[in-house]
Amino acid sequence: MTVVSSSLATTSENGGDVPASLRRRVTLSTVKEQLVQLSLFLCAFASILTTIAIVYILITESWQFFSHVSLWSFLTGTEWAPRDSTDPQFGVLPLLSGTLLVAFLSGIFGLPLGLLSAIYLSEYAAPRMRNIAKPLLELLAGIPTVVYGYFAVTFITPWVLRPVLQDLLGLEVDFFNALSGGIVVGIMILPTVSSLSEDALRAVPGGLREAAYALGSTKLDVSVRVVVPAAFSGIVASFLLAMARAIGETMAVVIACGQQPILTLNPLSTVQTMTAAIVGTALGDTPAGTVEYQCLYAIAITLFVITLSMNIVAQFVMRRFREVYQ
Amino acid sequence: MSLSVESTPDDIARRYFREKLFEWHCFAATWIGVVVLAVLLIGTIAKAVGWLDWQFMTSFDSRFPQNAGILAPLLGSLWLTVLTGLFAIPVGVGAAVYLEEYSSDTWLRRIIQTNLANLAGVPSIVYGILGLSVFVRMFGVFGTAKPDEAALKVLVVSLGITHLRIPLPPLPLGPSLLAGAGTLALLVMPTIIVASQEALRAIPPSIRHASLALGATRWQTVRHQVLPAAFPGILTGVILAMSRAIGEAAPLLMMGALMYVARAPGGIDSVKALFSGDPGFEGLMKAPYDKFTALPLQIYNWISRSEDRFQNVAAAGIVVLLVVLLSMNGVAIYLRQKYRKKLRW
């Protein structure tokens, strides 16, 4: 209604060559449209602001840290002892090795299982089976990580690892150990790998499968030698995203792997991951603003750079894969 | 490919065997996660038996395992979910509408889209650091004063007969519910945006064309045609995102929310407390500025206590948390299945 009345009003004012009905008019309604569009744009822009804020905070705070501790000694130091009153050490390697050890162990469990289940869901399972299995796998992804941590310390270490590895094989298993964390994080990333890889496998055109069957292949040949290679980049991307998740995982490893920054590759030993060190620093009574506290930001920016680059590589790989079959 | 032209029956038998073996492996891989999870859940429930009772549901935390209860974190999580939803859902859906319905394929849109994918991969603990700086400390702009409930400034609005006392937010927010909800909102925003985008994309363009052809403006088309059609899909995504927010502990841990809390936010621990004068409405207004604990935080707190019986208390807490989450996930899955069947344009 506003449009009609105001158009009548403007016709007499400025009649040009263009008919009045085609002229762009400023009315209450168009202003409202513009306002709506602007506010929706601001909503979308909020996500950019979030990124800017994260990067700004991490860089400014860790800048202060690196003005006290050199970047080189941070990246190559083999001892992490920020609270040592006489000679604090800020070498990130023990934390990095802890993180990578847990991520590696979780990858050993999570990646092959995830890929096999993706092959099953995409190539073997009947639709009915798929409809049951997929939601169940999604539920696995919905379990909070603090619960996985509880599983690791209450069941996996005392009921599985200690009886088998310590009592049977005579290996020493710490109460908090990297392996139990790796196992639960592996279960945690399984749904990520499974669902992303399955998407990639299903995107492989049926013609490729049919061609292979026509040559006398079995389903195994088709799956392993045709479909998986064809979806390889998508699978790699899912692996990268899953590993990035494993590296950034916090609560499960804080609970399962302990808080001892030990530079070791022994999966049965206590380790401290980067995320656990951040939590440990934040929970401790270190006053904000000191170097012992700012080291938290230095670890966080390291973690951020690692996970971000893995994500970017994964997206790059995935985009290339999409170009192949569309 | 070992395709010999003349296959002996032996070869074929071997191939079939390999075939079956592989299929069986794939089958096992699919179910092993589910089975392990089921075993662990049964173990947890077994540990929780005898601890999960009415007293547990209606008590606050205690230093004695037999007296410990889950009321404060349960209410805290409820508050967090509501406030997080208030922040994240309008902004997230708005962003999705902008990206899908308004923006053309410009460099800006591509930047936002790439940025969203990256944000979704940022570890939750980094969001905790963000929340610590932005909400808890507010970059130190307002000093470091810790919010003290008694010191809350109150805005008195006179309504003629009665006065409305509205507490003003303390600056900086400190480890309050509002700061926690803000942090979680930033954390789940990418999930909500991406899920809503997918729901919007599933609406066929013909609906929009029909609406625009009838003279509706862009916003009218979105508001009255596209959004209602996409509603179930958006709702599913929102529920899944909110259930993620309920289970997150790391960001709240970073904000310094891990503490001994033996009261409900704003003192509202029952329906009666809400409607009686004390703490009543004023408590409701004060609650967002109150310190809090949440289900996963409280569970972590119990797990890290040295006394063994607290592991049973933690198990009981986990059962409560999982019941909440599973019912939310169940609703989401139900909605999606229902939506899929109805989707016939």
Give this complex's ipTM. 0.87
* Spatial distance between the Cα atoms of A291 and A247, rounded to a whole number of angstroms: 24
In this structure, are residues A124 and B29 in contact, taking their beta carbons and an 8 Å threshold?
A: no
d(CA A46, CA A44): 5
A69-94 residue pLDDT tens = 888 888 888 888 887 778 888 889 99
Minimum-distance CB partner of A51 among B15, B119, B133 = B119
Closest to B257 measured CA to CA, from B76, B64, B84, B79: B76
Q: Are A162 and A170 spatial neighbours (Cβ–Cβ below 8 Å)?
A: no
Residue of A25, A27, A147, A227 to mutate, interface with B, max B Cβ within 10 Å = A147
So what's the pLDDT on residue B226?
93
Residues B179-197, mean pLDDT to the nearest whole number: 94
Q: How far is Cα of residue A267 from the mean position of the Cα atoms in its chain?
A: 22
- Does the pLDDT value for residue A143 go beyond 50? yes
Confidence of residue B83 (pLDDT cuts 50, 70, 90): very high
- Residue A6 has what pLDDT? 46
User: Up-side HSE of residue A31: CA atoms within 13 Å toward CB?
Assistant: 5
Four-CA torsion A59, A61, A63, A68, nearest 10 degrees = -160
pLDDT of residue B318: 94
Q: Looking at residue B295, what is its pLDDT?
A: 93
Which B residues in the span 257-316 are in contact with A, Cβ-Cβ below 8 Å?
258, 296, 299-300, 303-304, 311, 314-315
B18, B24, B35, B40: which to substitute to probe chain A, counting the most A Cβ within 10 Å?
B40
8-state DSSP, B66: G
What is the phi/psi pair of residue B166, to 5°?
Answer: -110, 115
pLDDT interval class at A182 (50, 70, 90): very high
Q: Do A51 and B130 touch (CB under 8 A)?
A: no
Q: What is the pLDDT of residue A84?
A: 78
CA dihedral B181, B182, B186, B191 (to 10 degrees): 30
* Closest to A276 measured CA to CA, from A303, A307, A311: A303
Q: Give mean pLDDT, residues A42-49.
A: 92
Model confidence over B284-309: pLDDT tens digits? 777 788 888 899 999 999 998 878 88
- pLDDT tens digits, A197-219: 999 999 889 899 999 999 988 88
pLDDT over 60 at B231, yes or no = yes
What is the DSSP annotation of A15-52?
--SS-GGGS----HHHHHHHHHHHHHHHHHHHHHHHHH
Nearest of B250, B237, B228, B248 to residue B328 by alpha carbon: B237
Secondary structure element (H or E) that encloses residue B328, with its range: helix B309-342
Residue A38 has pLDDT above 80, yes or no: yes
Give residue B300's Cα distance to chain centre: 17
User: Considering only B121-130, B167-176, B268-277, which range has the smallest mean pLDDT?
Assistant: B268-277
What proportion of chain B, given as a percentage, has pLDDT over 90? 37
* For residues B64-91, average pLDDT: 90
The pLDDT, as a whole number, for residue A3 is: 45
| Lowest-pLDDT range of A27-41, A207-221, A282-296, B202-216 | A282-296
What pLDDT is recorded for position B144? 62
pLDDT at position B5: 59
Handedness of CA A20, A23, A26, A27 (dihedral sign): positive
Sort strands A89-90 and B163-167 into parallel, antiparallel or unpaired.
unpaired
Place of tokens 């070498």: A91
Three-class DSSP category at B155:
strand
* Mean pLDDT of the region B179-200: 94
How does residue A21 score in pLDDT terms, banded at 50, 70 and 90?
A: confident
Contact A41 B33 (CB under 8 A): no
Does residue B179 sit at the A interface (CB-CB below 8 Å)?
A: no
CA distance A114 to A140: 12
Please count the residue pairs, one from chain A and one from chain B, whose beta carbons lie less than 8 angstroms apart: 262
- Please state the rounded mean pLDDT for residues A111-116: 95
B188 touches chain A (CB under 8 A): no
Which tens digit of pLDDT belongs to each residue from B263-290? 777 777 777 777 766 666 777 777 788 8
Is the pLDDT at B1 greater than 60? The verdict is: no
- Of the two residues B305 and B126, the one the predictor is more confident about is B126
What would the pLDDT profile of B319-331 be if each residue is shown by its tens digit? 999 999 988 888 8
Q: Which of A26, A35, A40 to mutate to test the interface with B (most CBs of B within 10 A)?
A: A40
pLDDT band at A312 (very low <50, low <70, confident <90, very high): very high
User: Is residue A213 within 8 Å of residue A305, measured between CB atoms?
Assistant: no
Per-residue model confidence (pLDDT) at position B345: 53
Give the CB-side neighbour count of residue A232, counting CA atoms within 13 A.
5
Q: How far is A311 from chain B (nearest CA, A)?
A: 6
Residue B341: per-residue pLDDT: 61
Q: Please state the separation of Cα A324 from the chain's center in Å.
A: 25
d(C-alpha B274, C-alpha A318), whole Å:
52
Note whether A45 contacts B326, CB cutoff 8 Å.
Answer: no
Cα A131 to the center of its chain, rounded Å: 26
Structure tokens at A212: 């292979």
- The strand pairing partners of B155, in sequence order, are B166
- Among B121, B126, B315, beta carbon nearest to A54: B126
Q: What percent of chain A has pLDDT over 90?
A: 48
pLDDT(B33) > 50: yes
Q: Does the pLDDT value for residue B35 go beyond 80?
A: yes
Domains of chain B as residue ranges with CATH: 49-342 (1.10.3720.10)
pLDDT of residue A8: 46
